[in-house]
């Protein structure tokens, strides 16, 4: 690895750490000015948390099925069991490694199994991210256009700002494409990106439409997790309000941050439930319980899969070197 690449990686890590520290500092500053959270100990609250874990398990299985269908449609010789397990391993990696490296982790570990290039497998992950983005755009559009106005969803300006930010990114991407064309380098870039693009191009079909519907179902399940955790914490969220919180927290997830979205996720949850009128110790208890449900079990299970099925971290490092890019 060249010094330039090392410098870029260190610079990105420093940026992520700085963003997380600022966000986490703001969350801690706010939390110290609230009453200490009281966590529910009733059987009803425990049942709600178990329901949240069950719903999140179903959402994770649906994500594994979605990746398997992308792999299968692309002709990758991957079994459904590996797709499911490596989906969990990928989420574990995103929770403990910087720069969403869990996506690289699962692609690199699957490459020796399928005998395909890492770049091709990363293209299937890119297709997943496009499906998630498409589903969130549908949610944002529904909120902005007022199609969900039976519930009083605040934060319309925040959603519009987020949409404006995405539009700005698209404009920058277009400007970069024009600059590349003028530099007569477009064909070289196309050749490098072609393995990434094939699974994404396949989404422009009935196959892709079906996967988009599945993606919407996944996000609906995720909103169910937020509803169930809210019930355990004594916060009543309607399904539409939970979907609003889910969409807003995932908008914040676009911001570079440390592993596990430390600081940014916490700030997003507190902001979202605060805009719905839930503040103080209840909001803090909700955040802690939500973090537990969304991050702890899947990290432990993913680590167990990595160690018992895929040779641990050493196997990942070996896969980075032995499999063609």
- Mind listing the pLDDT tens digit of every residue in the chain (325 residues)? 445 544 555 555 566 666 566 666 766 666 666 666 677 778 899 999 999 999 999 999 999 999 999 999 988 888 999 999 999 999 999 898 876 788 888 988 998 888 888 888 889 999 999 999 889 888 877 776 665 554 455 544 544 544 544 444 444 455 544 554 554 444 454 555 566 678 888 888 999 999 999 999 999 999 999 999 999 998 999 888 898 889 888 877 766 666 777 878 888 898 889 888 877 788 889 999 999 999 999 999 999 999 998 887 776 666 555 545 5
Distance, in Å, from the CA atom of 65 to the CA atom of 87, rounded to the nearest integer, reads 9
Of 248, 276, 268, 293, give the one whose Cα is nearest residue 136.
248
Give the single-character DSSP code of 323.
S
- 310 close to 84: Cβ distance less than 8 angstroms: no
pTM of the model: 0.80
Q: Please name the residues in contact with 255: beta carbons below 8 A apart, sequence gap of 6 or more.
A: 19, 264
Which residue is listed with tokens 């910087």?
Answer: 98
121 CB neighbour count, 10 Å cutoff: 29
Q: Based on the number of CB atoms within 10 Å of its own CB, is 179 exposed (0-12), middle (13-18) or buried (19 or more)?
A: exposed
String of DSSP letters for 81-110 = HHHHHHHHHHHHHHHHSSTTHHHHHHHHHH
DSSP states along 131-172: HHHHHHHHHHHHHHTTTTTTS----HHHHHHHHHHHHHHHHH
The predicted structure's pLDDT at residue 165: 47
What are the residue boundaries of the structural domains of the chain, listed by start? 18-25+41-322
- Are 59 and 221 in contact by the 8 Å Cβ rule? The answer is yes
- Residue 256 is predicted with a pLDDT of 62
Rounded-to-integer distance, Cα 114 and Cα 118, Å = 10
Q: What is the largest CA-CA distance in the chain?
A: 66
If phi > 0 it is left, if psi is from -120 to 50 it is alpha, else beta; for residue 25 that is alpha
Contact 267, 23 (CB under 8 A): yes
How far out from the chain centre does Cα 154 lie?
Answer: 23
């Amino acid at each position: 690895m060249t010094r330039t690449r090392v410098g870029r990686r260190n610079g990105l890590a420093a940026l992520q750490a700085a963003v997380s520290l600022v966000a986490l500092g703001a969350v801690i500053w706010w939390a110290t000015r609230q009453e200490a959270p009281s966590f529910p100990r009733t059987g009803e609250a425990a049942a709600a948390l178990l329901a949240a874990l069950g719903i999140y398990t179903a959402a994770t299985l649906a994500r594994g099925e979605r990746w398997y269908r992308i792999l299968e449609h692309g002709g990758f010789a991957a079994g459904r069991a590996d797709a499911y397990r490596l989906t969990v391993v990928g989420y574990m990696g995103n929770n403990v490694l910087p720069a969403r490296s869990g996506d690289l982790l699962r692609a690199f570990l699957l490459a020796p199994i399928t005998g395909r290039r890492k770049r091709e497998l990363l293209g299937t992950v890119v297709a997943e991210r496009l499906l998630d983005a498409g589903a969130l755009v549908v949610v944002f559009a529904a909120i902005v256009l007022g199609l969900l106005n039976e519930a009083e969803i605040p934060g319309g300006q925040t959603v519009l700002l987020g949409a404006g930010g995405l539009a700005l990114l698209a404009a920058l991407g277009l400007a970069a494409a024009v600059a590349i064309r003028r530099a007569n380098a477009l064909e070289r870039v196309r050749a490098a990106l072609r393995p990434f693009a094939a699974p994404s191009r396949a989404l422009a079909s009935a196959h892709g439409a079906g996967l988009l519907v599945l993606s919407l179902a996944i996000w609906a399940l995720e909103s169910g997790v937020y509803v169930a955790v809210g019930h355990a914490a004594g916060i009543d969220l309607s399904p539409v309000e939970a979907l609003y919180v889910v969409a807003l927290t995932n908008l914040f997830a676009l911001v570079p941050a440390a592993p596990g979205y430390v600081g940014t996720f916490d700030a997003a949850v507190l902001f979202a439930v605060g805009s719905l009128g839930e503040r103080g110790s209840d909001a803090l208890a909700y955040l802690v319980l939500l973090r537990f449900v969304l991050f702890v079990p899947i990290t432990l299970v993913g680590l167990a899969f990595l160690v018992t099925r895929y040779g641990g971290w050493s196997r990942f490092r070996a896969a980075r070197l032995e499999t063609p890019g």
